[in-house]
Structure 1
Amino acid sequence: MGLCHGKQIQSPEIGEENGKENHIVPDIEEPPPRSGIAKLPKFPFYSPSPLPGSYKSSPANSSLNSSPLRFFKRPFPPPSPAKHIKALLARRHGPVKPNEVSIPEGCEVELGLDKSFGFSKQFFSKYELGEEVGRGHFGYTCSAKAKKGELKGEEVAIKVIPKAKMTTAIAIEDVRREVRILSSLAGHKNLVQFYDAYEDEDNVYIVMELCKGGELLDRILARGGKYSEEDAKAVMVQILNVVSFCHLQGVVHRDLKPENFLFTSKDDKSTLKAIDFGLSDFVKPDERLNDIVGSAYYVAPEVLHRCYGTEADMWSIGVIAYILLCGSRPFWARTESGIFRAVLKVEPSFDEAPWPSLSAEAKDFVKRLLNKDYRKRMTASQALSHPWICGTQEVKIPLDIIVFKLIRAYISSSSLRKSALRALAKTLTVTQLSYLREQFGLLGPNKSGYISLQNLKTALLKNSTEAMKDSRVLDFVSLVSSLQYRKLDFEEFAAAAISVYQMEALDSWDQHAHRAYELFDKDGNRPIMIEELASELGLSPSVPVHVVLKDWIRHSDGKLSFLGFVKLLHGISTRAIPKA
């Protein structure tokens, strides 16, 4: 179950420069509040784990420029529960102690709550509970054997969620959402199989596939904390496959970590399965979530800023990849505040062993996931097409929802910006174009090599599940496909589906930008008046355009300058424009 309700807020349009006025930037080290003044929690975070842990000692003064390596001998312990975390849990779930299964005190908060889920009440007539095999945020998991039905004689896993812990309406909704997500996403080979949900007066019982191979964390520890590059790739492909599937459906997991991936058997080549969707939520492509949930070592910076989407999962995958390859965490500290500060401010170290001996592609893969600017991070589909992943194996690239967002932004752009993006597309490498060709092919171009906006909806419907309805992804794509626009060939599609922010994260960005400007200057650049540029960008006449756009135009010939070209690639940001 989630720790905070996933309230959604509207995100800025693609192509705008995101401002920070709506972000709550955590101030990690503040002086203690004066006596008698209540202080709101800055980090409502909890990462429960029943496992013990120990670490090597660390230097007293660690640099904020890079995160020192912290090798582990035992499973990672969570940060110690702080008072503000307990206060948050009390507000969300009532006075419940994490990992405690007894009935909490203060049952008066339960008055008026409807704890009926409409699930079958025949659990004990169908299943015989076995021993406990795991414990999560507000429930525990047991093995069980089916006594009758289609699964008769088979072992299954039962997640037991005590109703006594559901002391708020939000906690009840968390359980409903978890069951909804598990049932609607059922069928993916790298997602734990959901069978059914039951309830009685005391508990909710979620029946799932029993994975006997143990956690990914256990495998990491068994290998002494490090995977070879080839073995790490095999793990990452499975993680990226299931996460790309979830993101296309509009589901963000929000708690990706080695403990939440299980192997189906003890075999080295066993299938890896994602589990524990208790913190997951639905999110539309043009919306952001603002509640802070997850596990501290894996939390993305934008989650701490309370404005995030599916990109937060990609950061967590980057942390997992870092751990797989070098056996240490990229962000480490002794306290919760220190962990959060490291996530927000520290750059992970790629200088200490074994990084110098690893391939350049492996380092680039991890760096492009651990970019603190979520707009510059790879998506799961893009990560599957990264040279480190697909360079030595054939990987199926799934449909990527970011393409739909970028196409919508492109269609609503000015003709001048479209021309600039077409120039940038001409600088793409064969590797970069291969991902776009895969996406274009998935949209079903006709024999003449064109797609219409209706192709977007048709392609998405082929991949849709019930989760896509709950997340309203279909509503978003239906809106895009209803726009009036000519058909796109691959050349224009490539221009439309470019993420300028992601390209800025590349070491080769300067070369791309200058080469694109040369092409634009040769073919599309012409003398342009500030008023004409303002009209192209859709600026209001009341806006002081001379102040905003004076640096965009070259004084020598009145053509768009390189600075103006790069800004144009992003699109105008009204947040940066002074008010009249």
Structure 2
Amino acid sequence: MRKQDVKVIDVSMLSQAPNKHRHWNFEEFLAGKPLRKFFKRFLEEMRDIHPARLNEATGRPELHKNLLGLKHRELNSSYERGEDLGEGGFAKVYKVKDRDSGTVFACKEIRKERILSAGLDRLLLMEIRTMKRMRGLDCVMQLSDVLEDSNSVYLILDLCVGGDVQNSVLKHLEDDGSYSEADAAALLRRMVRAVKCCHDNGVIHRDIKFSNFLWTEEGGGGVLKLADFGLATFWSPEDPPVKERCGTPPFMAPEVWKGVGYTAASDVWALGVNMSVMLTGRPPYQASSPKEYAKAVCRQPIDLHVTPWSLLSADARDLLSKMLTKDPAARITIPEIQDHPWLREEGSAPTTSMTTNVKTCLRALSNMSELHQAALRLLADHAIRSGEAEEMMRAFEENDHDKDGVLDKKELLEALQDIYKQTTDSDLVSFLETFDIEGDGKITPPEFAAALLHFRAKEDEMELLEDAFPLFDCDRDGAISFADLEQALHKVGMELTDELVTVVKEMDSNHDDQVTEEEFHSFWKRHIMGEDDSDSELEPERSDSSSFLGELPKMDRSLISLHALNLGKTMSGKFSSSFRRN
């Protein structure tokens, strides 16, 4: 059986250590300040006093006889110990069998000396209290029993033999490159339901991530349960925001990083990060250090109209943008997420994926019409001139490794393989033939922007191309003439060719040498979506992504990109850590 990842509370999670050097202002007390204020401060100081006092002789904590207020009970008096499942710095987990019922559970043994030395006893108590409140909920890991002896605390939990979701997500991304939107929606629905159970019971989980969702059956099946309430806390809408900064860095919301106070909306942000990873193989931000990552989360906007998110359906991007809204007050709520068209059962999530869409875009390069190329170049030129291409220019700069202002063949191939690992030299040639206006084997920022406008879901590109009509209608008379077309082409370094003349005549259904906006739109429906003029409604094409199995790439930036940030290791002294699999 696959070893189960275990994570327990880490010393990182305390927002600040008790202030042991704060002194009383006795003169203030004698000056007549209210006794109530004095005693309030006194009680606060008493709460800061660590329950495990150090023995003067040994310097080690003196263990409480009753850390949890329970009568000491040996584990083997009620349970028979089984095989180990995992181990970390503060706890180890193994199977146990109830001696009376024969039921097999997972036992999380937490050494009291370690947890008291680290000052984490308060969080352990909170973990137990929050789990007790969640009793009877099938989507949440159940706490069946709690024992304590002179050395350890034992939590008797559901045994989830299927392992955590992170294992299945990693395998899916390694095999297929990305989840199909329909599969991602199905998994996210179950995750959202579990988080809703927490919020409905006045609990913020504060560590929503794949490794904290466990399957009850082997092979990633059965019931999906939310586990590890080591960072959970009580909160209701009537309460003030929580100030304690904690979580796993890639999943922490802006308000958590800032320390300004947060609510249950922080769990929604974390769900959005999980959704991003399933659909694109990466978190919404890339950074080289914890500091840069925090800065990006707090300040950098997310432009979902550039790759890889542009390759998702409009509804997927809409939900993702609402979940990753930086203002927690404006962020979508859990009930609203459940009612979103993309997430609903039999909703709008297509069976296509980012991987199948990028493959479609690469295939389309070999026979892209000159009018199609011209429209993309005009749209890119307009975006740059109007200041709407900031994210596209940032993407260009990230791929221009030698900072010479152009992308050479090596840089371009790396950029393409970043979203589709199996990009070939033939794909690179088709890309250059389509977008390299100068024919010098290099891509400039405007050419790169035009290419990014192409790499998106088909229905989105169709709508984008329809919006290019005003850019061709240079005299603004409501129709495109050959003079208009020639003038528009000149702006982007193209000439009127026989092919373009033929295409325009095809668009001109009434043969008056003028292309109306309606004729322009109808052309793109046929050209991009393969629809005829009789279609009154546009539905996203649904293709079975399973037909690509065995061909789909193994993407480098899968869930492993979370670890590539080096945040887990770098910040292990300050934030929660996941125990490595044995």
Q: How does the TM-score come out when normalised to structure 2?
A: 0.48
Which has more radius of gyration? 2
